[in-house]
Amino acid sequence: MKTVNVLIIGSGPAGLFAALWLERLGVDNITIVDRLPFPAGGLLNDGKLNFDYRIGIDLDVLQIDREKATRLMQEVKAVFTGFPQCHQVTYIEKNEKLNELRSIATENDVQFIAPEQWHWGTDNGKRVVEYLRGLLKKTRFFLGTEVSSISKKAGEGYHVICKTKEEDVTITARVVLAAPGRSGAYSFRDMADQLGIDHKFGPIDVGIRLELNRTFYDAVTDIVYDPKFIFYTARHGDKVRTFCTNPGGRVRAENYNNFKLVNGDALSSRKTKNTNFALINTVSLTKPISDTTEFGHMIARQFSLLGGGTPIVQRVGDFREGRRSSTSTFNSKTRHFEVCSATYDAVPGDITLGMPARIIDNLWESLKKLDKIVPGILHPSTLLYAPEIKFFDTQFPTDANLETNVNGIFVAGDGTGKSRGIVGAGISGIIAAQGIAEKYFR
């Protein structure tokens, strides 16, 4: 049986930054376990970095103030900008055009955030992971290895069962840091239940991904690569926001066990004629049901049913007229649909059949406002893909060091409700590492 000081579940940005900081703080004998050879999230796909304390973290959840968040962001930035293919794509200093855009947004009662942004592109994804791993000098990796259970052994720490294709290995760890990402959130939630770790349901974001001829959005994305527009709808008072913009990018599927969701990315070397971005509505549930996981899964399964296992796509021209899109007219020149060629092969249909009315109301109201700020985005050819759902649905109450109610079990990253993006995940990893080093290895 192997014995380690710290076992980290997950080699995404939360796990990697935690290991990096543990090493910097002098902690040795660290092991990272990941069921995949490469983490499957944003490090590998797209790689957009947002440096603004209002994006990707919740200061209250992390129990830090703006100054500390900004300091930690600078630390994360210093690491990523050492990767040669990471390029700055949004400059916020002395950018007069940003102020103009902000004024137009304010006139339309829309909040606009333009963070400093950097990007490396999906074609550099593996290289960035290798670069980050290369910074770790003392950490061991068990890749292609899944943590399947954790149990407390009096006087010994935690017994962590790690499954490879060939065998089960037990590792004894003094401290466990769980950074399982969204893909591992539910399996860790089950392990947490066995250990008596408190958790609760968090909000999810439900919406669509727009794809449009990039000429309609270039006026904005030339100023800010991934603009953040935030809407509070008049009809329902709900929050809707734009998210993950990919100028010259592609729409892609994100595979889950029982359904597919839509997502998007961009390459660094090859651009398409389109831009895509997500428009998502934050949904929290209270009584009588707070299970946002099941709510999101039901919407996703409904779309899966309607699309025969594939996401649905509808042209704005069809949506406006209240009719489904169909294969025979999908590229109709009479309707000007040829202006935008789809980059993802979704099933033409009707997104309003699968989405709750309240969410459709919110999305359409927000899109009409956005069309006033960026005229043309609601061209008939614009594509509305659904569903796009972000499952930030599991939250672990912790102390300021991100230690759970069970001593020696820390959490970080998206899968535990501590971040929503690469930079935030890195920040939470650093906070957890500082807490672990201070409390257990000083």
Ligand X SMILES: Cc1cc2nc3c(=O)[nH]c(=O)nc-3n(C[C@H](O)[C@H](O)[C@H](O)COP(=O)(O)OP(=O)(O)OC[C@H]3O[C@@H](n4cnc5c(N)ncnc54)[C@H](O)[C@@H]3O)c2cc1C
Binding site for ligand X (CB under 6 A): 9-15, 33-36, 39-43, 45-48, 146-147, 179-184, 187, 254, 263, 265, 413-415, 421-422, 425
Alpha-carbon gap, residue 209 to 224, rounded angstroms: 19
Least separation in angstroms between residue 288's CB and ligand X is 31
Q: Note the Cα 2 to chain centre separation in Å.
A: 33
Least separation in angstroms between residue 216's CB and ligand X is 22
User: Residue 42 or 317: which CB sits closer to ligand X?
Assistant: 42
Lookup: tokens for 332:
């109709």
Helix ranges restricted to H, 36-184: 59-62, 66-80, 96-107, 125-134
* Maximum separation of any 2 CA atoms in the chain, in Å: 75
Least separation in angstroms between residue 3's CB and ligand X is 19
Residue 386's closest CA among 327, 322, 332, 305? 305
User: Residue 180 or 354: which CB sits closer to ligand X?
Assistant: 180
Alpha-carbon gap, residue 380 to 334, rounded angstroms: 11
**Residue 211: its H or E element:** strand 204-213
User: Residue 276 or 362: which CB sits closer to ligand X?
Assistant: 276
User: Residue 132 or 383: which CB sits closer to ligand X?
Assistant: 132
Least separation in angstroms between residue 365's CB and ligand X is 26
Give the torsion sign (CA, 49, 101, 204, 428): positive
Least separation in angstroms between residue 426's CB and ligand X is 8
Give the torsion sign (CA, 302, 308, 312, 317): negative
Least separation in angstroms between residue 105's CB and ligand X is 22
Q: Coil, helix or strand for 16?
A: helix
User: Residue 183 or 366: which CB sits closer to ligand X?
Assistant: 183
How many Cβ atoms from other residues are within 10 Å of residue 162's Cβ?
21
Least separation in angstroms between residue 68's CB and ligand X is 20
User: Residue 105 or 266: which CB sits closer to ligand X?
Assistant: 266
How many Cβ atoms from other residues are within 10 Å of residue 108's Cβ?
16
DSSP string covering 21-67: HHHHTT---EEEEESSSS--STTTTT-EEEE-TTSS--HHHHT--HH
Residue 413's closest CA among 56, 32, 77, 28? 56
User: Residue 217 or 337: which CB sits closer to ligand X?
Assistant: 217
Count of H-run helices and E-run strands, the chain: 11, 22
Least separation in angstroms between residue 223's CB and ligand X is 19
Give backbone dihedrals phi and psi of 440, rounded to 5 degrees, phi first. -110, -15
Least separation in angstroms between residue 148's CB and ligand X is 7
Alpha-carbon gap, residue 347 to 253, rounded angstroms: 12
Least separation in angstroms between residue 235's CB and ligand X is 30
Give backbone dihedrals phi and psi of 12, rounded to 5 degrees, phi first. -80, -170
346 DSSP 8-state letter? P
Residue recorded with tokens 């899944």: 146
Cβ atoms of 233 and 277 within 8 Å: the answer is no
User: Residue 36 or 353: which CB sits closer to ligand X?
Assistant: 36
User: Residue 27 or 192: which CB sits closer to ligand X?
Assistant: 192
403 DSSP 8-state letter? B
User: Residue 34 or 350: which CB sits closer to ligand X?
Assistant: 34
User: Residue 387 or 413: which CB sits closer to ligand X?
Assistant: 413
Residue recorded with tokens 């860790």: 188
Least separation in angstroms between residue 78's CB and ligand X is 17
User: Residue 45 or 352: which CB sits closer to ligand X?
Assistant: 45
Least separation in angstroms between residue 55's CB and ligand X is 9
